[in-house]
Chain A
Amino acid sequence: MTQLYRKKKIEIVVEAARARAIIEMIEAVGAKGYTIVPDVSGRGNRGVRDEAHLSDVFRNMLIIVIAAEEIANRIIEQLQPLLKDYAGIVVISDVEVIRDEHF
């Protein structure tokens, strides 16, 4: 059977205006990679956010990071101040991956 490795998965839904700062932070704390879904929509405490048009002001992105627990904790710590005054959802879950060296 294939060996599995335990990792943390962080999913961040955030407005596009803030995505760049968050991605820079993710790279800075040493995560080896991330995945972006550039355009997601839905409803939250700021109402329906689905207007992906002209300027990116009402566009939301989904950033997915899978990392070792230690790096994941650093990301979570630094996310809090970055999300002040911005729309954002952060979900953390335990996952297993098959290629340890990728994360």
Chain B
Amino acid sequence: MDTLLQLALANLVSPMVLFFVLGVAAGWLKSDLAIPEPISKGLALYLMLAIGFKGGVELEANGLGGTVVAAMALALALSFSMPLLAYALLRAATRLDVPNAAAVAAHYGSVSVVTFVAATGFLGYRAVPYEGYLVAMLALMETPAIVTGLLLARRSKTAGTTKPQAPLFSKELAREVFLSGSVVLLGGSLAIGWITGAKGMAVMAPGIVDPFKAVLAVFLLDMGLLVGRRLQDFRTVGWPVVAFGLYMPLIGATIGLVAAHAIGLSLGGITLVAVLAASASYIVVPAAMRVSLPQANPAIYVPLSLAITFPFNLIAGIPLYHAAAKWIASM
């Protein structure tokens, strides 16, 4: 346990986490520090482009082997099935009604791009290699959970009504989900990295390799500000739900660790799959839920995934999952 504590402390003093903490403190104290919205959106786009491109290049170098296919299948399976578990837990342990439980469940089957990027930063900081193609898992896990969440909400709705149902996947939702900026940019830069390979990397490297961690630190400062301003929303969410926001990542991470080990990923890869399974969406899924499940309250699911699960994973989760991955990889 000594090493785990050391790892957690070492994570705390990385510039990425410290800038995040600075942002949380400034936001909480209502400082007027703010990163203009177009810039923070630009930073997010840069991070997705960089990580997608690197993943594509890695995919080109490794080829589509059995492990790659297994990882992609695992991504789909996790994203489709984890909302079922989350929903069961929420209905048993909290007072959330059906639409809200279904909406929250969808968030926990989907993933947080920033948490994943921060985890790659954590591994890079420690020079732990990982399978770059796992970024394709990230892209694949964003949306299946939305379908499961909507099915959960609908299943219990049909009991009382005789009204003909609207199609589950409306045109509006499809646009929101498949053409959402993050999905397009992640998938697109992955494809470009895959097509151009090492030559493409030589062109892009000065822009996307060295500055990556510094840009991530600036972006995390901004995320911190956002989280800090939302900290007061805890009260409206309620303690059983807050607790869910802390134990659900641990359950997800455990499932991710075991599954990633089973398909034969490296230490870094196991860590990243655990992070993917532990993280909750706060960009793509809230937008999709607002369009398709308006009965669910965004003042519950946004603070829960953004102000509770995200900081938890960033500060405690990533080093913890990495330590657990070390343990499971050494078995």
Give the B-binding residues of A (Cβ under 8 A). Answer: 15, 17-18, 20-21, 46-47, 51-58, 84-86
Docked CA distance A15–B290 (Å): 9
- Interface residue? B69 (CB, 8 A): no
9 sampled A-B residue pairs with Cβ under 8 A: A17-B287, A51-B229, A55-B286, A55-B287, A57-B286, A58-B302, A84-B294, A85-B294, A85-B295
Given contacts A20-B172, A21-B172, A47-B299, contact A55 B283 (CB under 8 A): yes
Measured CA separation A53–B226 after assembly (Å): 8
Question: Would you call the interface of chain A mostly helix, strand, loop, or mixed?
Answer: mixed
For B, the interface residue count at a CB cutoff of 8 angstroms equals 19
Residues of A within 8 A of B302 (CB): 57-58
Interface mask (B283-297 → A, CB under 8 Å = 1, otherwise 0): 110110011001100
- State the CA gap A50–B287 with chains docked (Å): 16
Distance in angstroms from A15 CB to nearest chain B CB is: 7
Determine whether the beta carbon of B226 is less than 8 Å from that of A54: yes
Nearest CB in chain A: distance from B46 CB, A: 15
A54 to B302, CA, bound (A): 11
B282 engages A55 (CB within 8 Å): yes
A54 neighbours in B (Cβ, 8 Å): 44, 226, 282-283
Closest CB of chain A to B159's CB: distance in Å? 19
Q: Does B37 interact with chain A (Cβ within 8 Å)?
A: yes
Whether A57 and B290, one on each chain, are in contact in the complex, defined by CB atoms closer than 8 angstroms, is yes
Q: Which residue of B lies closest to A56 (CB)?
A: B287
Cα-based distance from A53 to B37 in the complex (angstroms): 7
CA distance A53 to B287 in the complex (A): 11
Given contacts A53-B37, A57-B298, 14 further A-B contacts (CB under 8 A): A17-B290, A17-B291, A17-B294, A18-B290, A47-B299, A52-B37, A54-B44, A54-B283, A55-B282, A56-B287, A56-B290, A57-B286, A57-B302, A85-B295
